[in-house]
């Protein structure tokens, strides 16, 4: 089926069902209403659900979303939803940006104009990009895969086909979270098509070759490995569950919007750079638009299961393997544990490694201007 325009249209029946479920929400007891020590704060969820029921207007959000240039394509049997905004400039560079969990294509909404029309925001028109933002299979408006075996590695293959359908034989890639893994697989398996890869996260599953014939692990690298282990022990239960038994969790999240919201907002609260009040960085309308996309998609099982697929297809490199595609990394201070530059340089040609002044895991959502500046700076010398 050819590429076609897409309009998001949630039915009245879906909205009525959601509100019935919100009205019937039953929240758990708690020892401390506003504490996040045991997980999502009950007080926060109460406020969020109250806003969702009484103030949040999905139709307003839907109208805003439908102002974005949305499309749908059938790529190797998989329906893929994506944004495609052409750049304003003398020679825009094609760039594909991939989101992760618990985000969506909406993370890139404020980033999109900063990259496609930089002159409008005080930048150089020569830095413009043609930007493609796909929804991962089973996320947002992309239907769930109909077969097992679709990991970040296979998604990279789909992105190559999608970009080819759009007429882009050579392009840049950018991503964070799962999108970083997809972008690294693009560079690993499709290097001739890549001008460069820019990341705002390096997945913890990335493992360069180690051993007797490799350089010894440095003190900084050992410190990173210990921080990864500590993170897994104290904050990694969600990933262990996603990566092993996603179906069990999916029963609860597919049935309860309150449960879904609590599962998602815990990560926004933990991973975003905020002064103790998440709403100052991610307003309720923004947060609920993302959560609602997960709810309305009906694909929560698929979004969780991608962790299991990635666990079965780890980003592990063999001895002697080196990726020639230029790599740039922006390190935001509230990001999950990030390795030292030497860890990435064991495999990749790292050409830019920049520490950012503020921001967290959801960089495009939290600090779109800073991220846009970094993306433009990294790709500037790679333009031809």
The residue among 303, 298, 234 whose CA lies nearest residue 264 is: 303
Sign of the dihedral through C-alpha 161, 100, 250, 63: negative
- In terms of Cβ atoms closer than 10 Å to its own Cβ (0-12, 13-18, 19+), residue 29 is exposed
Reported as type and span, the H/E element at residue 75 is strand 70-75
The span from the CA of 191 to the CA of 154, in Å, is 15
Question: Which active-site residues does the annotation give?
Answer: 177, 307, 361
The span from the CA of 270 to the CA of 180, in Å, is 19
The span from the CA of 3 to the CA of 377, in Å, is 32
Taking 3-state DSSP, the helix, strand and coil percentages for the chain, each rounded to the nearest 5, stand at 50, 15, 35
- What are phi and psi for residue 202, nearest 5 degrees? -115, 115
Q: Are strands 194-199 and 348-355 parallel, antiparallel or unpaired?
A: unpaired
The span from the CA of 336 to the CA of 346, in Å, is 21
């Amino acid at each position: 089926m050819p590429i076609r325009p897409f309009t998001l249209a949630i039915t009245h029946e879906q909205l009525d069902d959601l509100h019935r479920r919100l009205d019937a929400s039953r929240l758990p007891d708690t020892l401390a209403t506003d504490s996040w020590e045991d997980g999502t704060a009950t007080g926060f969820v109460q406020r969020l659900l109250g806003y969702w029921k009484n103030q949040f207007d999905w139709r307003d959000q839907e109208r805003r979303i439908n102002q974005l240039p949305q499309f749908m394509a059938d790529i190797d049997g998989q329906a893929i939803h994506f944004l495609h905004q052409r750049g304003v400039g003398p020679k825009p560079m094609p760039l594909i940006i991939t989101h992760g969990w618990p985000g969506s294509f909406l993370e890139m909404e404020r980033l999109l104009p900063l990259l496609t029309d930089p002159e409008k925001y005080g930048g150089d028109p020569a830095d413009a990009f043609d930007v493609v933002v796909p929804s991962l299979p089973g996320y947002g408006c992309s239907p769930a895969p109909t077969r097992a075996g679709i990991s970040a590695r296979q998604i990279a293959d789909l992105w190559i086909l999608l970009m080819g359908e759009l007429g882009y034989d050579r392009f840049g890639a950018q991503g964070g979270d799962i999108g970083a893994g997809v972008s690294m697989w693009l560079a690993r398996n499709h290097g001739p098509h890549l001008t460069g890869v820019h990341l705002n996260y390096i997945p913890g599953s990335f493992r360069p070759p180690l051993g007797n014939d490799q350089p010894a692990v440095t003190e900084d690298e050992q410190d990173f490995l210990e921080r990864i282990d500590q993170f897994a022990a104290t904050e990694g239960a969600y990933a262990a569950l996603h990566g092993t038994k996603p179906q069990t969790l999916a029963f609860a999240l597919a049935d309860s919007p309150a449960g879904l919201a609590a599962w998602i907002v815990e990560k926004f609260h933990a991973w975003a750079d905020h002064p103790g009040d998440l709403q100052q960085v991610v307003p309720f309308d923004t947060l609920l638009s993302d959560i609602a996309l997960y709810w309305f998609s009906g694909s929560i099982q698929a979004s969780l299961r991608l962790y299991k697929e990635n666990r079965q297809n780890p980003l592990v490199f063999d001895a002697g393997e080196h990726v020639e595609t230029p790599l740039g990394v922006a390190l935001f201070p509230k990001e999950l544990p990030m390795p030292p530059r030497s860890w990435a340089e064991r495999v990749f040609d790292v050409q830019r490694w920049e520490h950012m002044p503020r921001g967290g895991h959801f960089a495009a959502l939290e600090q779109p201007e800073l991220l846009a500046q970094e993306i433009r700076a990294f790709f500037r010398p790679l333009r031809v």
